[in-house]
């Protein structure tokens, strides 16, 4: 029985990859927070239930499949003080100068809890309700993140044991016990997380892959982000491997629905390997721009049938806003890929990440029988009234400093965030 109705402009991403728009839409839910109707308001009829006008355009919640919680305090300052001609590239220089010190601080549980809570509040206010995040090598900090964040967030206990500070090296003696404990508590929300081939050696990677197999966990890592990183991996660290991607393949990391961030400097053979193993790409446009990593060859991803989602990669990005990331995605791909439309951007920030993470039953789909999980976003007009025009009207003018436009976040029928309290 319908107990509540929200009416207003409504965007519905479909499983097919398309997006529907209803200028006069309605979303109706029952008393348990389950959707009873989503679509054209006229087709709903005169349902006897309280109704309110939406606080903006209604759409599914946003998801971020690649972000770093400990880097939230230094977002936008990832590469601060790092020269343009840093030996080995800006990425490796920034890790040493700014990132590793920030992550070391999260070894203290009190500090880690404050960082996680600040991150949780920031993403929720931006309409981002879940995703896949990296924590640190600290099992205690990772467990805290899994406890504090909603169940729509997956979190990784990071594995590192080389080319990193001693304070950020994996406790290899207790790794199996730590993963077993967290897997029992949190299931697949725990992600086996190989930082990347620069910082993790083969024995540790194989151990992590084995634990992922034993407990049915997915994996995540970084791949081919920068040329200097790729050369270091292939020419110095693993010269016997045919490619950077082949390092992950032979060590078993790609066997577990791996989420691979960046994938900028890929060869055709490497794309083939990802397609064969079912890996998914986390595409981070702002990070790629800010760190001079290069342009994602989006058509290569699609040609190989590889799933991808847009992601922020905070702290290389200055903001957790996925609306800002969608804006950057369109700006950077303009003139390079005809598939990079506003509808595609929305789909890759909602439906695609929900599929990748296996949480479609909770978020991502606005249809009868699904949980009533949605956000309401103030629009800058409604463009030309087309699907793409309306989506563009939701995107910030400044992708680095986006204006706060998410007015309300509802999960499973329960309001989790309101920018104002005009409505009950």
Q: Which residues pair with 409 in a beta bridge?
A: 375, 417
According to DSSP, residue 168 is labeled G
Q: Are residues 86 and 13 in the same domain?
A: no
Q: Are residues 284 and 369 in the same domain?
A: no
Q: Can you spell out the DSSP letters for 199-239?
A: T--HHHHHHHHHHHHHHT--EEEEES--HHHHHIIIIII-T
Q: Are residues 19 and 105 in the same domain?
A: no
pLDDT, averaged in runs of 10, over the chain (424 residues): 94 95 95 95 83 95 98 93 82 91 94 98 98 98 98 98 96 98 98 98 98 98 96 97 98 98 97 97 97 94 96 97 98 94 98 96 91 95 87 96 96 93 43
Q: Are residues 147 and 169 in the same domain?
A: yes
Q: Are residues 227 and 327 in the same domain?
A: yes
CATH of the domain at 272: 3.20.20.140
Buried b (16+ CB within 10 A) or exposed e, 115-144: bbeebbebbbbbbbbbbbbbbbbbbbbbbb
Q: Among the three residues 307, 330, 357, which one is the final residue of a domain in this structure?
A: 357
pLDDT at 102: 94
Count of the separate structural domains present in the chain? 2
Q: What is the pLDDT of residues 234-262, one digit of tens each?
A: 999 999 999 999 999 999 999 999 999 99
pLDDT at 377: 97
Q: Are residues 20 and 116 in the same domain?
A: no
Any domain includes 285: yes
User: How far apart, in whole angstroms, are the C-alpha atoms of residue 297 and residue 245?
Assistant: 16
Which residue matches tokens 């699609």? 302
pLDDT at 84: 81
Q: Are residues 55 and 107 in the same domain?
A: no
Domain residues for the domain of 164 are 62-357
Q: Are residues 143 and 14 in the same domain?
A: no
Q: Are residues 285 and 171 in the same domain?
A: yes
pLDDT at 111: 97
Q: Are residues 401 and 342 in the same domain?
A: no
User: How far apart, in whole angstroms, are the C-alpha atoms of residue 207 and residue 142?
Assistant: 18
Q: Are residues 33 and 102 in the same domain?
A: no
CATH of the domain at 41: 2.30.40.10
């Amino acid at each position: 029985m319908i107990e509540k109705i929200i009416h207003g402009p409504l965007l519905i991403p479909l499983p097919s990859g398309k997006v529907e728009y209803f200028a006069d839409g309605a979303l109706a839910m029952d008393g348990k927070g389950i959707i009873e109707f989503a679509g054209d308001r006229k087709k709903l009829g005169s349902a006897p239930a309280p109704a309110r006008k939406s606080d903006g355009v209604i759409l599914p919640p946003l998801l971020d499949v690649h972000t770093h919680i400990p880097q939230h305090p230094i977002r936008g300052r990832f590469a601060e003080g790092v020269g343009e001609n840093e030996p080995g590239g800006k990425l490796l220089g920034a890790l040493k100068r700014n990132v590793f010190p920030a992550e070391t601080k999260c070894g203290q549980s009190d500090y880690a809890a404050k960082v996680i809570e600040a991150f949780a509040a920031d993403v929720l206010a931006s309409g981002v309700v879940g995703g896949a995040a990296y924590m640190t090598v600290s099992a205690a900090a990772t467990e805290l993140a899994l406890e504090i964040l909603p169940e729509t967030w997956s979190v990784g206990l990071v594995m590192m044991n080389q080319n990193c500070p001693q304070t950020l090296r994996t406790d290899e003696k207790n790794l199996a016990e730590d993963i077993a404990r967290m897997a029992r508590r949190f299931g697949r929300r725990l992600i086996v997380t190989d930082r990347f081939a620069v910082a993790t050696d083969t024995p540790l990677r194989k151990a992590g892959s084995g634990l992922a197999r034993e407990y049915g966990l997915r994996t995540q890592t970084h791949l081919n982000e920068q040329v200097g990183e790729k050369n270091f991996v292939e020419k110095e660290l693993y010269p016997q491997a045919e490619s950077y991607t082949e390092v992950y393949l032979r060590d078993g990391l790609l066997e577990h629905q791996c989420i691979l961030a960046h994938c900028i400097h890929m060869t055709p053979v490497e794309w083939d390997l990802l397609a064969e193993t079912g890996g998914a790409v986390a595409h981070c446009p702002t990070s790629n721009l800010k760190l001079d990593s290069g342009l994602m060859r989006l058509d290569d991803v699609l040609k190989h049938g590889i799933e991808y989602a847009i992601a922020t990669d905070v702290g290389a990005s200055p903001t957790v806003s996925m609306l800002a990331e969608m804006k950057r995605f369109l700006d950077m791909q303009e003139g390079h890929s005809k598939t990079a439309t506003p509808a595609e951007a929305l789909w890759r920030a909602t439906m695609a990440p929900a599929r990748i993470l296996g949480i479609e039953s909770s978020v991502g789909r606005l249809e009868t029988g699904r949980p009533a999980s949605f956000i309401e976003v103030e629009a800058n007009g409604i463009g030309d009234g087309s699907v793409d025009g309306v989506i563009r009207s939701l995107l910030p003018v400044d992708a680095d400093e986006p204006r706060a436009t998410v007015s309300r976040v509802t999960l499973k029928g329960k309001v989790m965030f309101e920018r104002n309290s005009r409505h009950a």
